Every structure is written in structure tokens, then in C-alpha cells.
Amino acid sequence: MKDLLHTRAWEVKESPIDLGYRVVPEWGKLPEGWSLGQVSGVATDSKNRVYVFHRGSDAPPLICLDSDGSFLSSYEKLSFGRPHMVVCDADDNVWLADDGSHIIYKLSPDGEVLFTLGIKDVPGEDGIHFNQPTDIAFGPQGEMYVSDGYGNRRIAKFDAKGEFLLDWGSEGEEPGQFALPHGLITDNKGQVYVADRENWRVQIFDPDGRFVTQWSHVGRIFDLVQGSDGLFYTCDGTTGRVTQIDASGEVLGFFGESGEGLGQLSTAHDIDYSPNGDIVVGHLDGRVHKFSQR
């Protein structure tokens, strides 16, 4: 099993250790008559609030729940082409990647549009246009990285004011190329981790886009997050699991299984780690799961 964890960890049936996470039953309560469509994005802020970004028509596209899953607020002032991922920054601003309209929005915690990247409904591949962007991440100095995504297969970097700095990537399987840069994060050294989903790997780059290494042994990674414990957590909707990885790329353990029931992860699309240590996963079949060690 140990050798398999270093080569094809997704084939290992039993986690080497029990990570202690258990799904919280009946978490997430919506107002009467509301239902979620495809939950493409989930994010948590400094107060452990959970933002849910979804593609349904029977509830507002962006919904905020408290840590216990009770409804707090919703947002429906913008029209979205196709919601993708949602990210909360250090100031609890909410960033929304709309891959259907080729744009990323920055909202204040009160829902005011503060900033945009990209030109709405105008695809392209330069310093001001995207083609179906999927996610955004922030470096130590406030610099921004966008996975530009379904159309362009590149990572675009901007300074803290939104000025274009550089980009890298093209379609392919070699280091620095992408089949689909689907999700991304940065670490405290400024390294950029890209979930190259269709190539079944995470690629790691320095802040200027130079390839450092890759994790090709974990699975078909839809998204990843680094927890306050310094460890990384990936979600994989193909193998139906969340995997815990250390900074060297060592797979420490995993939880979850295939299926579409409580605690099962066959349609997992996005993942986030709350300040209190909980893990939230959004599913394309309309579910949101919270996993807790408490």
C-alpha cells in the first residue's frame, strides 16, 4: 500500500490513518421553497460563514450560511452566465468566477461590487480578457492569480491593483502545460498550486510561473485548499474522496467514498477549509457537505 500511495493513491481503498472527519448530518438549511442547482463553488470567511455559489434557478445564485448551516443572506443583483468558484479573501470580500461570462467579480461582505477582472461576455486571451475563467487566488503581497481555464489553459497574474503582469501555460501534458487549470491556491511562500484536473495532477509553480514540481499520484483533482494546520486537502469527484497531503506531496490519508448520499463525494467540485478546522465541499448534484472533527 505504501508504494501505491506514492504512485496511484486513488487506487488505495483504505486510508492509512483515520483523519477524524465525519459528515455533519442535515447541515445547511435554506428558506422554504428554495433548492440548489449545481453547487460549483463553496468558500468560508474569517467568521466561519459559508458561501454557496450555484447554478440553479430555484434560489439566488449566492447564498451565505452561518457555521451551523443556518441561512444568513443571499445575493441576486448580478446575472451570471455560469457560476464557477467562489473565494473569500483576507478581508472577507467575496470573489466570484463566472466562466460563462468570462469575468470575475469582487464583492464586499455587504454585496457591493468593488472590482472586476475581465470584460463581461467578451472572451479573449490577453491582459484584460479571459476565456471561461475558473478560479482566483491571492499572493502574499495581494497579487492575484486567475486560472483561465476552460478556454485558454493558462494562469494569468495581476498586481494588487489589477494590472496585468504576466501569464503562462498552454494546452498539453508537459510541465507548465494544462489540460484544464480548474482550481488554484497559493502558499505562504507565494508558490502557486494549480489543480490541472484533466491531467490528473497538481502542478506547483513559483510566483513568476516557473515550474517547481507536480503531484501526479493523488487523483483527478477538482480543487485544493491549504488548512491552518499547514496541510493540503484536495477534492476529487471522480474517486469520491478528500485527500490530505503534506507540503512534500506525501499522501497522509483520505476520507469519503463514491456515491451521491450523505458523506459520499462522487460529484464533489469545490472544497474549502474553515478557520475552525471544518471542511466544506460543494457538489454538482446540488449538495453541500460539512465535515467536522468535533
pLDDT, tens digit, 9 for 90 and up, residues 177-191: 999 999 999 998 999
Residue-wise pLDDT for 10-53, tens only, equals 999 999 999 999 999 999 999 999 999 999 999 999 999 999 99
pLDDT mean over 89-98: 98
Check pLDDT > 80 for residue 1. Answer: no
Q: Domain 2-292's class?
A: mainly beta
Check pLDDT > 80 for residue 2. Answer: no
The set of cell numbers assigned to 11 is 487506487
Please state, in angstroms and rounded to a whole number, the distance separating the CA atoms of residues 36 and 198: 26
The DSSP secondary structure of 56-73, one letter per residue, reads -SSS-SEEEE-TTS-EEE
User: 62 near 96, Cβ under 8 Å?
Assistant: yes
Residue ranges of domains in the chain: 2-292
Mean pLDDT of the chain: 97
User: What percent of the chain stands above pLDDT 70?
Assistant: 99
User: 15 near 253, Cβ under 8 Å?
Assistant: yes
- The reported pLDDT for the residue numbered 272 is 98
The answer to pTM > 0.85 is: yes
Residue-wise pLDDT for 227-285, tens only, equals 999 999 999 999 999 999 999 999 999 999 999 999 999 999 999 999 999 999 999 99
Check pLDDT > 90 for residue 219. Answer: yes
pLDDT mean over 103-112: 97
pLDDT mean over 113-139: 98
- The reported pLDDT for the residue numbered 294 is 72
Q: Which residue in 154, 48, 134, 46 sits closest to 85, CA to CA?
A: 134
Q: How far apart are the first and last CA of the chain?
A: 29
